Amino acid sequence: MGSRVEILNDGGYRSDGRRQFELRDITINLAQQGQADGSAVITHGLTQVLVSVFGPREAKMRSQTIHDRANINVEVNVAAFSTGERRKRSRGDKRILEIGSTIKSTFEPVVQTTLYPRSQIDVYITVLQQDGGLLQACINGTTLALTNAGIPMADFVCAVTGGVHSTSALLDLTTLEENDVPHVTVAMMPKTGKVALVTMETRLHVERFEEIFRLAGEAGKVLHKEMKKAVMGRTSTLVNAMGSRGSGVDRDGDEQMNEL
Amino acid sequence: MSTTSLSKAEKSYIAAGLTQSTPHRADGRNLTDYRSVALEAGVAPLANGSVRLSIGRNINDNGGGTEVLAATKLEVESISIGESSEGREGGRFIVNVSCSPAAYPHLTQNALDDLQHDLTTILHTTLTHPSLHPQNLTILPHKKSWLLHLDLLILSDAGNTLDALFLAARAALWDTKVPRTRSVEYKAPRGSNKANAGANTTVEGGDIDVDSTAPSGFDTRTQISRATDFELPDYWDEGEALDGRDRWPVCVTLNLAPPVHFLDATPQEESAIPLRLLLIFSFTSTSKGEATLQAMRSLGAGELSLVQIKDLIQTGEKYAHSLYTALNAKLKDEDIRRTQKARERFIAARR
Amino acid sequence: MISFSSFPATREYAEFSGPHHPYDPSDDVEMEIDEDYLDTNGSKLTYPGESLTSSQAYMRGHGTYVDNEEVIASVAGTIERVNKLVTVRAIRSRYNPEVGDLVVGRITEVQPRRWKVDANSRQDAVLMLSSVNLPGGVQRRKLESDELQMRNFFEEGDLLVAEVQAFFADGAMSLHTRSLRYGKLRNGQLVTVPPILVRRLKSHFIALPCGVDLILGLNGYIWVSKHVKEAEQEGEEGFDAEGVYSNINDNIDEITRTAISRVTNIVRILASHFIPLTDTLLIEAYDWTVDQEGGAKDLLSEDLSDALVTSLAFRV
């Protein structure tokens, strides 16, 4: 499929003015939304996703409980006005269910669910705007929201998309680029470098794959920096607010921890 | 709108507070006070019009509050007499409400779908009434028209969702710009094989070129507009405002605890006082007191006498008028703010 | 009647990254505890995945896990070291119950011989029929008719104050109301705050001088009500079911109602600024608002709430 816009021009610039390995602007908002236990709004360029986490809490349906750990439930809701062309997706849309179950299986080994038997953790994702990198934004947003909710995790999960245009590798693709170029989404855990998820739906030559895979992993570390900054910023603000009015005796007093 | 669980003692505390000699509400507000309402237009750049509205949101940490996102989108539709196309002369308008599960963490999927359906019905039937239909949704008469979609998304619910939905709907529709189109006719010039595009006069409502000979009533060929297609003269121009922006209605929910009633209920108040009267009024901006009651609905268990309803409609109209005036002022402010912001950005980019 | 405002500009936690992130190996940051992230009290902050210390020297506590001979944080929060134990306390989480805690809960279900109570925790708590006071005397035996009439005591939606007695094997709390101070709640309204903001105090029953009582549940549910006189609380010989399990409120006059609204608004303001709740603080805040001579609803405005918080920071 030809495109009227050049994906990568001779000067090394992409259609939105970025360089090959440049990531889009990121904004992270960790302020509380509604009644959620933890929430995050993350923007990668023009893709904007809101994630709300409830839990761990009593499961709504007893049939969904697991006796020795918590059940993670992910629901994705794509707003009809999120794309250039309005499209209403029903909740049972296969594509959306697939994204939801992909995210669930990405986080199941990362979240320490064994601490909460018979409980449920609900992750509600609302896609407000889409311009490529949807799964990436959802995963990053979920990581932030879970951290915000105080749910213990082994590490952050940072995701980014990577693609190849003829022989040049590209990172963090927009819709225009995703439609034109084979691409893969990689989610990695920065501390160990382990990969939590790799998914690809286009056809990519095996020789190109290795490079893209490696690059995306590195880019995840860059994302981790930003996410860490946001999380620490919020933690520090809240701790200062709490501390300013005399924490005093009680904080240390009740720290005779009962080991589980 | 879903009932929060409340104990009998809590409910009677709220009800008793309202019916004593000087009525009293849980957070100290007056019976007709709304919580703080925040509004921002133009939040979805890919849409033709959009707005984000929240009632009662906690100023400091952003939590709580009823929050609604609304966006309009225009699509081109073909009209033809046959059943295959859905387009209709004068354009179509469809309203849709969806609820984020994050707003109703205790509801099951089915209950959520039911709630969505109810809200969609209320909004759709009220707003798509022919008396409110915008006049500038035609592109090419009998051929092409705009399909206007209004999508509302409830992100969080802290009571009074219907007022919020209607306020957001009105604001989003006010903010909607219809792209300007120009109809285009293709004429093969005599003796030449090339097709030329010749533009008619700029069409925005489907004017037919009238300087041709008066068409015969039996000859349907000449009555069909010569325009066969349209183009956007300026790709980046947002367009003109959607017609009838003054007519879009506002909704006032009167929560009834006889002998008093109150506005902008919190979830606890909604649970304690289930009987509600929804009044949806439309005003024309010119006249001060001329209102049309577009829709009315009573919700919840309880009885209302005809006399009561008449009184409530009268009082409701006054409330709706204040709401309308305040909202208009805010929307105009928003217009100014955004033009200013665009101007600043333009100047900054030029430097 | 109604006033429109704008959304606040970008919130504090919104981060703007620079226009480019070139892939650069030198960008890989060493995982260290950054000096920037010491809060004012000097305790260090951490995030999930950060390595804290060696597991040879320290034992791991809540909020951490061990991997590869290292103790690693699993939540974002403050690091606490007590002797050889390292724990991380999350800055915001659901209520973590402990035996002896006072909680305010809402009945969600009535089951055979027990009630399920929502206590803002990871699982609903359980209140056994044998753990409540039955009418007719504190020591009375449980009868079969009691089992069939459980809704005469507590039904779905009721609010109660109870103490955590023990834990079940899966971690669910077991509550009891076997004290005359515990039981069904009436004559007031509920406010919810993040559980971390409720400190463990000597007494969670606070009586404010304005005739308003507060019960600070450690699970973040706070009950604000009309003052109950001490004498009434003691109760007489025969335990009066009419009194304790009744759903009927007393007559509450307007002054008390206004005071209750004021206190509720104050609690909300403190919670939104993430300030921990203590009795002294609440009394100070109440006195300040009364001095302002505004109505209870004026506390809902941003200016007044900011002024309140600032004034509290300067006192004491």
Q: How confident is the model at residue B126 (pLDDT cuts 50, 70, 90)?
A: very high
Is residue A248 predicted with pLDDT exceeding 60?
no
List, as one string, the DSSP characters of C113-144.
TEEEEE-SBSS-EEEEGGGSPPTT-TTPPP-H
Are the CB atoms for B154 and B165 separated by under 8 Å?
yes
Distance from CA of A70 to the nearest CA of B (A): 17
A239, HSE (Cβ side, Cα atoms, 13 Å): 25
Tell me, what's the pLDDT at A120?
94
Residue A167 placed within a domain: yes
CATH number at residue A194: 3.30.230.70
Going by pLDDT thresholds of 50, 70 and 90, the confidence category of residue C24 is very low
A214 domain-assigned: yes
Q: Determine which of C23, C89, C311 to mutate to test the interface with A (most A C-beta atoms within 10 Å).
A: C23
Q: Which amino acid is at A63?
A: S
Does residue A216 sit within a domain? Answer: yes
**Do the domain assignments include residue A7?**
no
Confidence of residue C135 (pLDDT cuts 50, 70, 90): confident
Average pLDDT over residues B206-226: 47
**Cα(B55)–Cα(C54) distance, integer angstroms:** 50
Q: What is the pLDDT of residues A217-227, one digit of tens each?
A: 899 999 999 99
Percentage of residues of chain B with pLDDT beyond 70: 81
Q: Is the pLDDT of residue A188 over 50?
A: yes
A169 within a domain of the structure (yes/no)? yes
Highest-confidence segment of B80-89, B108-117, B338-347, C297-306: B108-117
pLDDT at C139: 60
CA distances from B155 to A34, B161, B269 (A): 8, 11, 20
Taking 90 as the threshold, does the pLDDT of residue A231 lie above it? yes
- pLDDT higher than threshold 70 for residue C269: yes
Enter the ipTM.
Answer: 0.87
Number of domains making up chain A: 1
In this model, does residue B140 exceed pLDDT 70?
Answer: yes
- pLDDT at position B64: 81
Give A20-49 pLDDT, tens digit per residue. Answer: 899 999 999 998 888 899 999 999 999 999
**Ordered structural domains, chain C, with CATH:** 26-90 (2.40.50.100), 102-314 (2.40.50.140)
Which neighbouring-strand residues pair with B199? B184
The reported pLDDT for the residue numbered A5 is 76
- Which of A25-29, B312-316, C7-11 is predicted with the least confidence, judged by mean pLDDT? C7-11
Q: Strands B260-262 and B250-257, how do they pair?
A: antiparallel
Mean pLDDT of B46-75: 88
Cα–Cα dist A252/B67, whole Å: 39
Q: Does A82 touch chain B (CB under 8 A)?
A: yes
Whether A13 is covered by a domain: the verdict is no
Q: Is residue A178 part of a domain?
A: yes
What is the extent of the structural domain holding A128? 26-236
Subunits that touch chain B (at least 3 Cβ pairs < 8 angstroms)?
A: A, C
Domains detected in chain B: 8-179+238-350 (3.30.230.70), 180-237 (no CATH)
Residue C105: Cβ within 10 Å count? 26
How far lies C218's CA from each of B10, C94, C119, C173, C215, in Å? 21, 11, 9, 13, 9
Residue B155: which of A33, A60, A75 has the nearest Cβ?
Answer: A33
pTM reported for the whole predicted model: 0.88
Q: pLDDT class for B194, splitting at 50, 70, 90?
A: very low
Q: Across the interface, which of B10, B26, B59 has its CB nearest the CB of C261?
A: B26
Question: Is A260 part of a structural domain of the chain?
Answer: no
Kindly tell me if the per-residue pLDDT of B36 is higher than 70: yes
Q: Using one digit for the tens of pLDDT, what is the confidence trace for C31-90?
A: 344 444 444 445 789 999 999 988 888 999 999 999 989 999 999 999 999 989 999 999
Question: Using one digit for the tens of pLDDT, what is the confidence trace for C279-293?
Answer: 889 988 988 888 887
Nearest-angstrom CA–CA distance, C244 and C233: 10
Query: Residue A204, Cα to own-chain centre: how many angstroms?
Result: 24
Predicted confidence at residue A62, as pLDDT, reads 82
For residue A235, which residues of chain C lie inside 8 Å, CB to CB? 37, 45, 47, 76-78, 91
Mean pLDDT of A89-117: 92
Question: Could you say which of A32, A61, A124 has the minimum Cβ distance to residue B101?
Answer: A124
The predicted model gives C91-117 an average pLDDT of 93
Closest chain A CA to residue C21:
A22
What was the pLDDT predicted at C242?
60
- Residue B195 clears pLDDT 90, i.e. is over it: no
Residue from B5, B10, B334 to probe the interface with C (highest C Cβ count within 10 Å) = B10
As a whole number, mean pLDDT of residues A201-208 equals: 87
Percent of chain B with pLDDT over 90: 46
% of chain A with per-residue pLDDT over 70: 92
